[in-house]
Amino acid sequence: MSQSAAQWYVIHTYSGYENAVKTSIEKFVNGRHLEDKILRMEIPMETVTEYGENGEPRQVERKVLPGYVLIKMVMSDDVWHLVRNIRGVTGFAGSGNTPIPLTEDEALKLGMEKHEVSVKYRVGDAVRIVDGPLQSFSGIVEAVEPDKNRVSVMVSMFGRETPVDLELDQVEMQT
């Protein structure tokens, strides 16, 4: 099997064991040279602003899915047994002993996979909005930020020029 057969799976762990499970699997991967079978592991995190007793804001990293580790791997009996028998792992998300991979949409929503968007327009180009509430409006590109998947377009609405922030794939070159 090739790496292209790799899919994202969800490992269920004891609460608080997420980092230990990830570290243990990484040691097995390196020790047994399984880099072609287990490609990546993630513990989805988010940054949250909390306010202390004195009202001071502070940034805190928090697990998005406590008790879970996401793993991109090529599923086989050997790899399943290896991961399943790591201390702290209670199983895979799925039915019975059959792990169910995440769909591409689920992986995208969790931030695990990113679509590569080819940008064929640049600042100053005339574009048409092809998706969202402003679909079929036209405008001029003001800024393009591929790393943030954002494009700013100046659109004429009700006789006024209005800047609109959109995702890169919501806009295409005007023909």
- Stated pTM of the model: 0.62
Domain span(s) for CATH 2.30.30.30 in the chain: 126-173
Torsion from C-alpha of 102, 19, 4, 83, nearest 10 degrees: -90
pLDDT band at 68 (very low <50, low <70, confident <90, very high): very high
Domain 126-173 sits in CATH 3.20.20.100 = no
- Checking if the pLDDT of 110 tops 70, the result is yes
Domain span(s) for CATH 3.30.70.940 in the chain: 3-109
Tell which wins on pLDDT, 48 or 27. 27
Distance CA 43, CA 93 (A): 15
Name beta bridge partners: 94: 99
Tell which wins on pLDDT, 175 or 24. 24
Would you say how long the chain is, in residues?
175
Distance CA 107, CA 130 (A): 24
Mean of pLDDT values over 98-105 = 86
- Checking if the pLDDT of 112 tops 60, the result is yes
> What pLDDT is recorded for position 140?
95
Question: Which helix (H) or strand (E) is 46 found in, with range?
Answer: strand 45-51
Vertex 108: Cα angle to 107 and 113 (nearest 5): 80
CATH topology of domain 3-109: Alpha-Beta Plaits (3.30.70)
Mean of pLDDT values over 39-58 = 82
- The whole-chain average pLDDT of the chain stands at 87
Which DSSP symbol is given to 169? G
Name beta bridge partners: 85: none
46, 64 Cβ separation under 8 angstroms = yes
